[in-house]
């Protein structure tokens, strides 16, 4: 099959023919319908994150199951699925407690070694193993993933668009609903209006936030946030100051959807009494932000990290698809381009240049 291949930060992503092994126990094979292009891939390709290589990128996608491995009983050939980059083991302490996004095997095996849950790869090039990316590798015509990473959804949902539920929507909306637990009447600031940031905005809208301030370097992106529910749009490089001009006493919740040191510090600096800064965007490895512990203590404020929106994939992903089909969750408005898989390298360039929102690669 054809797949995008990343080898190192100095070599452009290339489209090559790779071999894909059949699914093993508790795995499924999926024909990809669409794969999203996210800033996580940009971090990877720039060399800002450490990952085993060579690998097939892509952690957001959707498709149709074409084969199931031994032991899989809840999925069948022909099922429509959204791929989850948290294919949890279901056996570790965190999974048993219902905290699948903290799965021990995901962090120590899948993410650390670039393999599937059993510590081996299904991808090969010239008989040499190729690594999986976050247990998904959706920039390909097909994938083999753990069965817990293929979430069955309703058949009438458009498969290409709902690929975005697998990361952008789950991460953004989940950060609001599950991590921060935003309450009705709250004041919310969102720093960064990319795919995840806009989903934070609409998550805050759905939770009944009274004021939602969207801040982005691009005035156009900030204005787009109003489509998703923002009450105020600010194009500014000094986020904390911009937020405090509108809310002098600070906000109840501030979300960093970018993950730069400056945006993390801005989220913390824009809080009011009892506020919570939620770090959703992921920074380069080793980045460090600073804050005043005394100020946070005196304000009774909090800093929260949000991994994958603290979701439970099997429950939250189908629910988000239902919200989209019901018109409450906006997804079509996030798609800035649909491109063939051959244009994966150009899609990354456009994302880096800020000329794209959420692009879909169509194999």
Mean pLDDT of 14-31: 97
Rounded Cα distance, 106 and 362, in Å: 27
Q: How confident is the model at residue 40 (pLDDT cuts 50, 70, 90)?
A: confident
In a domain, 322, yes or no: no
**Rounded alpha-carbon distances, angstroms, from residue 3 to 59, 99, 173, 340:** 13, 32, 30, 11
Q: Do 336 and 287 belong together in one domain?
A: no
Q: Do 115 and 217 belong together in one domain?
A: no
Q: Average model confidence (pLDDT) for the chain?
A: 95
Residue numbers of the domain that contains 197: 172-306
> What is the total count of domains within the chain?
2
CB 164 within 8 A of CB 55: no
Q: How confident is the model at residue 55 (pLDDT cuts 50, 70, 90)?
A: very high
Q: Is the pLDDT of residue 198 over 80?
A: yes
In a domain, 357, yes or no: yes
The 10s digit of each residue's pLDDT in 101-134 is: 999 999 999 999 999 999 999 999 998 999 999 9
- Smallest Cα–Cα separation from 169: which of 57, 320, 327? 320
The 10s digit of each residue's pLDDT in 255-277 is: 999 999 999 999 999 999 999 99
In a domain, 313, yes or no: no
What's the CATH number where 209 sits?
A: 3.40.50.720
pLDDT at 274: 97
pLDDT at 9: 87
pLDDT at 69: 97
Pairing of strands 211-216, 187-191: parallel
Q: Is the pLDDT of residue 284 over 90?
A: no
Q: Do 33 and 57 belong together in one domain?
A: yes
Mean pLDDT of 283-308: 92
Rounded Cα distance, 310 and 191, in Å: 19
Q: Do 23 and 154 belong together in one domain?
A: yes
Rg over CA atoms, the chain: 20
What's the CATH number where 132 sits?
A: 3.90.180.10
The encoded tokens of residue 215 equal 């801040």
Q: Do 218 and 284 belong together in one domain?
A: yes
Mean pLDDT of 180-197: 97
């Amino acid at each position: 099959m054809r797949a995008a291949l990343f080898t190192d930060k100095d070599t452009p992503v290339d489209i090559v023919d790779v071999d894909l092994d059949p699914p093993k126990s508790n795995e499924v094979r999926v024909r990809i319908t669409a794969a999203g292009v996210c800033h996580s891939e940009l971090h990877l390709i720039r060399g800002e994150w450490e990952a085993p290589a060579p690998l097939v990128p892509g952690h957001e996608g959707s498709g149709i199951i074409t084969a199931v491995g031994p032991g899989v009983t809840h999925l069948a050939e022909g099922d429509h699925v959204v791929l989850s980059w948290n294919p949890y083991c279901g056996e570790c302490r965190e999974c048993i407690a219902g905290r699948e996004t903290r799965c021990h095997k995901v962090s120590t095996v899948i993410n650390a070694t670039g393999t599937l849950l059993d510590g081996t790869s299904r991808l090969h090039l010239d008989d040499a193993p190729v690594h999986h990316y976050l247990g998904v590798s959706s920039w390909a015509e097909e994938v083999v993933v753990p069965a817990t990473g293929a979430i069955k959804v309703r058949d009438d949902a458009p498969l290409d668009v709902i690929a975005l539920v697998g990361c952008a929507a789950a991460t953004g909306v989940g950060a609001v609903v599950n991590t921060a637990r935003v309450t009705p009447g709250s004041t919310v600031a969102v720093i960064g209006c990319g795919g995840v940031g806009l989903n934070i905005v609409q998550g805050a809208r759905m939770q009944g936030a009274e004021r939602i301030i969207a801040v982005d370097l691009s005035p156009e992106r900030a204005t787009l946030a109003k489509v998703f529910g923002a009450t105020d749009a600010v194009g500014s490089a000094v986020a904390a100051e911009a937020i405090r001009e509108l809310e002098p006493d600070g906000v109840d919740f501030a979300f960093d959807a970018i993950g730069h040191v400056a945006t993390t510090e801005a989220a913390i600096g824009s809080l009011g009494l009892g506020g919570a800064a939620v770090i959703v965007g992921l920074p380069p490895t080793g980045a460090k932000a600073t804050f005043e512990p005394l100020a946070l203590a005196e304000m009774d404020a909090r800093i929260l990290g949000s991994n994958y929106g603290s979701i439970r994939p099997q429950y939250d992903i189908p629910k988000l698809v239902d919200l989209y089909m019901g018109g409450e969750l906006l997804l079509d408005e996030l798609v800035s381009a649909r491109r063939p898989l051959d244009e994966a390298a150009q899609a990354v360039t456009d994302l880096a240049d800020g000329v794209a929102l959420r692009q879909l690669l169509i194999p």
